[in-house]
Amino acid sequence: MRRREFIAALGGAAAWPVAGRAQPAKLPTVGFLIPGTPASFGQRVAACTRRLRELGWIEGRTVAIEYRWAEAQRFDEIVNEFVRLKVDVIITGGTPPTIAAKKATSSIPIVSVSAGDPVGTGLVASLARPGGNITGLSNQTRDLAGKRLELLREIAPDLRRLAILVRTDNVSAVSETREVQAAAKTFDIQVIPLEIHGGNDIVPALEALKEHADGLYVVVDSLMLVHAVRINTVALGARVLTMHGTREFVAAGGLMSYGADFVDLWRRSADYIDKILRGAKPADIPVEQPTKFELIVNLTTAKALGLTIPPTLLARADEVIE
Residue 15 lies in a domain: no
- What letter represents residue 162's amino acid? L
User: In this structure, what are the phi and psi dihedrals at residue 237, rounded to the nearest 5 degrees?
Assistant: -65, -30
Residue 14 lies in a domain: no
Tell me the whole-structure pTM to 2 decimals: 0.86
Coil/strand/helix, residue 190: strand
Question: Do 300 and 189 fall within a single domain?
Answer: yes
Between CA 127 and CA 250 the distance in angstroms is: 30
Residue 75 lies in a domain: yes
Between CA 29 and CA 84 the distance in angstroms is: 12
Question: Do 104 and 180 fall within a single domain?
Answer: no
Residue 210 lies in a domain: yes
Question: Do 156 and 197 fall within a single domain?
Answer: yes
Question: Do 185 and 241 fall within a single domain?
Answer: yes
Question: Do 236 and 122 fall within a single domain?
Answer: no
Q: Which tens digits make up the pLDDT trace of 101-155? A: 999 999 999 999 988 889 988 999 999 999 999 999 999 888 899 999 999 999 9
Q: CA 123 from chain center: how many Å?
A: 16
More confident residue, 12 or 225: 225
Question: Do 246 and 149 fall within a single domain?
Answer: yes
Q: Which tens digits make up the pLDDT trace of 236-259? A: 999 999 999 999 999 999 999 999
Q: Which tens digits make up the pLDDT trace of 41-99? A: 999 999 999 999 999 999 999 999 999 998 778 999 999 999 999 999 999 999 999 99
Residue 8, pLDDT above cutoff 50 = no
Q: Tell me, what CATH number does 219's domain have?
A: 3.40.50.2300
Residue 224, pLDDT above cutoff 70 = yes
Question: Do 83 and 194 fall within a single domain?
Answer: no
Q: Which tens digits make up the pLDDT trace of 267-314? A: 999 999 999 999 999 999 999 999 999 999 999 999 999 999 999 999
Question: Do 96 and 154 fall within a single domain?
Answer: no
pLDDT score for 9: 41
Question: Do 66 and 171 fall within a single domain?
Answer: no
Percent of the chain with pLDDT over 70: 93
Q: Which tens digits make up the pLDDT trace of 150-201? A: 999 999 999 999 999 999 989 889 999 999 999 999 999 999 999 999 889 9
- What letter represents residue 269's amino acid? S
Question: Do 43 and 104 fall within a single domain?
Answer: yes
pLDDT score for 24: 58
Residue 285 lies in a domain: yes
Q: How many CB atoms lie within 10 A of CB 166?
A: 24
Q: CA 295 from chain center: how many Å?
A: 18
What are the distances in angstroms from CA 180 to CA 145, 146, 148, 273, 294? Answer: 5, 6, 9, 33, 19
Strand partners, 215: 162, 241
User: In this structure, what are the phi and psi dihedrals at residue 42, rounded to the nearest 5 degrees?
Assistant: -60, -40
Question: Do 90 and 170 fall within a single domain?
Answer: no
Are the C-beta atoms of 242 and 255 separated by less than 8 Å? yes
- What letter represents residue 131's amino acid? G
pLDDT score for 12: 42
Edge-to-edge, what's the strand order for the sheet holding 241-244? 190-196, 161-167, 215-218, 241-244, 256-260, 293-298, 319-321
In DSSP notation, 249-312 reads HHHTT-SEEEEE-HHHHHHHHHHHHHHHHTT--GGGS--B--S-EEEEEEHHHHHHTT----HH
User: Which one, of 99, 29, 40, lies nearest residue 64 by Cα?
Assistant: 29
Residue 128 lies in a domain: yes
Domain span at residue 49?
29-139+262-290
What are the distances in angstroms from CA 9 to CA 68, 252, 297? Answer: 49, 68, 75
Are the C-beta atoms of 305 and 238 separated by less than 8 Å? no
Residues near 142 by Cβ (< 8 Å), separated by ≥ 6? 116, 117, 172, 175, 176, 179
pLDDT band at 7 (very low <50, low <70, confident <90, very high): very low
The count of domains in the chain is 2
Residue 208, pLDDT above cutoff 50 = yes
pLDDT score for 264: 96
Between CA 129 and CA 124 the distance in angstroms is: 8
Residue 5, pLDDT above cutoff 90 = no
Question: Do 204 and 275 fall within a single domain?
Answer: no
- CA 123, 195, 205, 148 dihedral sign is negative
Residue 125 lies in a domain: yes
Between CA 13 and CA 23 the distance in angstroms is: 19
User: For 25-29, 188-192, 215-219, 301-305, which range has the lowest pLDDT when averaged over its residues?
Assistant: 25-29
